[in-house]
């Protein structure tokens, strides 16, 4: 009975992904929502989170499937995404660890996260995700871990993401996932991310179409054959910040 349900679901997802009208409406909605700060509407356990709810459900499916004993996310911001991953991890493994790497973990965010992070065993390395210092500290967390999953969500410029992909691809375990977020940047019009709803902040941004994570991802996949794009995860939600961004380590 359930087998039929899952088979039907897979077929439906494939059809929806090929459905031009469905894709067009989804892209228009995504663009409008990005331009209006929709991504900032949600929290987890009282901590703001900057992701589409549909992407969170998808990531939850991956976490449940892989059951990583360590999840690393680069880019913490307010901290809600780490709390979300840790809550799921704790359902199957009380000892599972969740680690963030953030260049600018602000004091008000730190204060807001303190209790929950202590309860859920979440740690944050405060440094650039590609710095020597962060990578030395990271070793302490990866030691003896069997299943490691990584989510890249920090500086979205091509150069930085490419650097992260090279470094963190080595840490991800075979069978687990490397999620390269915000590939959507390269699917929006030129200038979109430099002039959006947060005009002041946008003017400081170093990423935009042509200088985003998807370009880095394509470059990375040409030189690294250990990963393949797992299409089912970006196609099932249609509303995603991460088109083609869910990479499975196959070798």
Shortest distance, position 129 Cβ to ligand SAM, whole Å: 4
Tell me if 128 sits within 8 A of 186, measured CB to CB.
Answer: no
Segment near ligand SAM (CB under 6 A); pick from 113-121, 147-155, 171-179, 199-207: 147-155
Which residue's beta carbon is nearest to the bound ligand SAM?
Answer: 75
Task: Pick the binder of ligand SAM from 68, 75, 243, 245 (CB under 6 A).
Answer: 75
Binding mask 81-120 for ligand SAM (x = CB under 6 A): x-------------------xxxx----------------
How many positions of this chain bind ligand SAM (CB under 6 A)?
20
Shortest distance, position 128 Cβ to ligand SAM, whole Å: 4
Largest CA distance in the chain: 53
Segment near ligand SAM (CB under 6 A); pick from 2-10, 71-79, 87-95, 139-147: 71-79
Shortest distance, position 24 Cβ to ligand SAM, whole Å: 26
Query: Residue 232's closest CA among 224, 223, 242?
Result: 242
Task: Give whichever of 57 and 250 is closer to ligand SAM, judged by the CB atom.
Answer: 57
Backbone angles phi, psi at 102, to 5 degrees: -135, 130
Q: Which of residues 117-136 bind ligand SAM (CB under 6 A)?
A: 128-129
Shortest distance, position 248 Cβ to ligand SAM, whole Å: 21
Q: Which of residues 8-67 bind ligand SAM (CB under 6 A)?
A: 49-51
CA dist 16 and 2 (Å) reads 21
Can residue 155 be called a binding residue for ligand SAM (CB under 6 A)?
yes
CA dist 4 and 27 (Å) reads 30
Q: Which of residues 219-238 bind ligand SAM (CB under 6 A)?
A: none
Task: Pick the binder of ligand SAM from 26, 89, 98, 154 (CB under 6 A).
Answer: 154
Task: Give whichever of 26 and 154 is closer to ligand SAM, judged by the CB atom.
Answer: 154
Order of strands across the sheet that contains 70-74 = 122-126, 97-102, 70-74, 148-152, 177-180, 246-249, 227-229
Q: Interface residues with ligand SAM (CB under 6 A)?
A: 49-51, 73-78, 80-81, 101-104, 128-129, 153-155
């Amino acid at each position: 009975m359930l087998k039929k349900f899952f088979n039907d679901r897979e077929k439906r997802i494939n059809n929806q992904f090929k459905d031009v009208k469905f894709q067009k409406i989804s892209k228009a909605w995504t663009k409008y929502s990005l331009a209006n700060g929709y991504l900032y509407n949600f929290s987890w356990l009282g901590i703001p989170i900057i992701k589409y709810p549909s992407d969170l459900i998808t990531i939850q499916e991956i976490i449940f499937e892989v059951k990583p004993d360590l999840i690393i996310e680069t880019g913490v911001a307010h901290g809600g995404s780490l709390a979300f991953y840790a809550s799921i991890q704790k359902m199957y493994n009380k000892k599972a660890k969740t680690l963030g790497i953030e260049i600018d973990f602000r004091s008000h965010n730190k204060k807001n996260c303190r209790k929950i992070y202590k309860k859920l065993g979440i740690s944050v390395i405060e440094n650039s995700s590609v710095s020597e210092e962060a990578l030395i500290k990271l070793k302490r967390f990866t030691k003896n871990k069997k299943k490691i999953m990584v989510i890249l969500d920090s500086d979205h410029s091509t150069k930085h993401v490419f650097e992260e992909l090279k470094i963190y691809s080595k840490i991800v375990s075979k069978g687990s996932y490397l999620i390269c977020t915000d590939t959507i940047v390269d699917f929006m019009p030129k200038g979109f991310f430099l002039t959006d709803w947060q005009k002041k902040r946008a003017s400081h941004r170093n990423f935009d179409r042509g200088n985003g994570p998807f370009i880095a991802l394509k470059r990375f996949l040409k030189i690294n054959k250990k990963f393949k794009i797992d299409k089912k995860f970006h196609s099932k939600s249609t509303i995603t910040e991460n088109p083609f961004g869910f990479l499975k380590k196959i070798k």
